[in-house]
Structure 1
């Protein structure tokens, strides 16, 4: 029940602080059965307690995905909590952790933007087009996920995995940036494709120009129409080279256009589009060259075509596992 001097906002803030304190305590590594009993009693005392604790869990889970952005502040919070816990002042530590979290969000606006961004994703074998409020469109390829944040000052997209095609409405007052891996791509009025494979990111431009800011690169790399580059966790962007836009963008029409790729690479690519594991069982087969135009949504036809062109046989081991073996 609210006291006569406590406003609803103060009451909600207190519950959020208590939820953060309990979250810190339960994950401290030395939580006792007595602590657990008291936590369960607190949780059952009011629906607001349960909701606040769920929100605290979701927020910390989201922050874990942004550990690189907030790493210094998170380490500081962890050290502070460890010292406080050693003195058995765990409730104060939990409240301080909540305050520290507020500081992290204030010092790192990118975290706040990410937490408030709109998520979009596709399953394997699916594609999706997203039309944004300014007329910009984003096409997501198979098994892809991104977040979009728009404000009066900025437009930011985080490509968390997969591949996307961007057709950007240029606005010099609101830069459009794609954050992917250890770099970011800034639009300068263009259409471009970004693909992220773990920490390896490929950028290809169809029209206009983008500026690529890689992690260890002093100055941005400018990529123009018909060009591409790549960057990864280890260093800066690779030198700009001519791109094969037809092959890169064929996925937008449901096509895999393969030009002189190894069988191992093609098998890995097919796994992006279909929920199966494809195992090339013989090392000598891995380097066989594959070229062709394949329907992205028809795995059986693609594998039959490959087996006709190469000295291999395709065997369904089980529903989720396919083996490509030497043709005997």
Structure 2
């Protein structure tokens, strides 16, 4: 374990952009053997200077990434969690390259990713996802919201990792939101299996799952409400305004907060999205029984016409 951690630090500190020296120092001081392990691997690694170019090697952007074309730098793969897989490569004087790449959207921006297996992933605003250049059946939602239209293959199921959870498709169209420690998924077609190796909860079309500080809950969901943001609307059944506020901010790219009283209110109905914030809040706030107030660069939702609480 110590050598794996040491190898991770060797890889990270070799990166010219490495800046987390405080964490590196803390790791060295945590155990008297850390420095020796690091020095030994650094000495063995010294031979790489003759074969590693001064500038990062570049490769073409993956064909299934519709973003800006051109050449992208590949960074050294680092981190103690993957160091064990690199020990043999370092002993041979060769560094492995990572096949994982990230796609990020800004708040209010959407993006569609066509994977090589025929699966389509649509990212809402403020979303970060990871994909594998050599495994089109893998995706990880780190934060934000994404809709998945999956090409089913029973022998090689498509899996989405969200934090510690895994969602496995069974011929499926579904939408996942992940924010902080909260995750929710709605299924509009086919079926999704939640944590197939543990709970193995089956979610057919018209079912939803929520996992947050209140625990794991399964409920019904209107099929047309799943990923409704793709069609310029947000549809809810008894949803808290705090959740709706986060969805609005992500979809429109606006800063939005709600007073505690307003955030605890619940709403059932459909809100039409409008890129003009003034027009949007003029219609959406009264629909939810609220008032929207412009505050600096953002907006505040509050109850009625009284002052914010």
Do Structure 1 and Structure 2 share a fold, with TM-score over 0.5? yes
What residue in structure 2 maps to residue 122 of structure 1?
105
- 1:303–1:228 Cα change, 3 Å: same
Partner SS state of residue 192, structure 1: strand
| Aligned CA distance change for structure 1 residues 54 and 246 (closer, same or farther; 3 Å) | same
Greater fraction of residues in helix: 1
Distance 2:140 2:240 in 1: 31
Asked if 1:148 is matched to 2:97, the reply is no
Partner Cα distance (1:289, 1:100) in 2: 44
Q: Deviations over 1:242-281 (max 9, x none)?
A: 2222223211112122444444443333222344433434
Question: Relative to structure 1, is the Cα distance of residues 288 and 99 closer, same or farther in structure 2, using a 3 angstrom cutoff?
Answer: closer
Q: Quick check: 1:194 aligned with 2:176?
A: yes
Kindly tell me the number of residue pairs found equivalent between the two proteins: 259
Shift of 1:322: 4.1
CA distance in 2, matches of 1:234, 1:310: 24
Match runs of 1:136-285 below 5 Å: 136-151=119-134, 155-213=137-195, 218-232=198-212, 237-238=216-217, 240-281=218-259, 283-285=260-262
The answer on whether the counterparts of 1:20 and 1:94 sit within 8 Å (CA) in structure 2 is no
How many angstroms apart in 2 are the aligned matches of 1:267 and 1:166?
Answer: 23
In 2, distance between residues paired with 1:163 and 1:172? 25
SS of residue matched to 1:303: helix
Question: Tell me, which stretches of 5 or more residues in structure 1 are unaligned?
Answer: 1-16, 25-51, 65-73
Check conservation: 1:213, 1:220, Cα contact below 8 A: yes
Bigger Rg over Cα:
1
The structure with the greater share of residues assigned to strand is 2
Q: What value does the CA root-mean-square deviation take over the aligned residues?
A: 4.3
TM-score by length of 2: 0.66
Structure 1 residue 312: deviation in Å?
5.0
CA distance in structure 2 between the aligned counterparts of 1:127 and 1:114, rounded to whole angstroms: 29
Unaligned ranges ≥5, structure 2: 1-5, 46-77, 88-94
Q: Is the 8 A contact 1:203 1:229 kept in 2?
A: yes
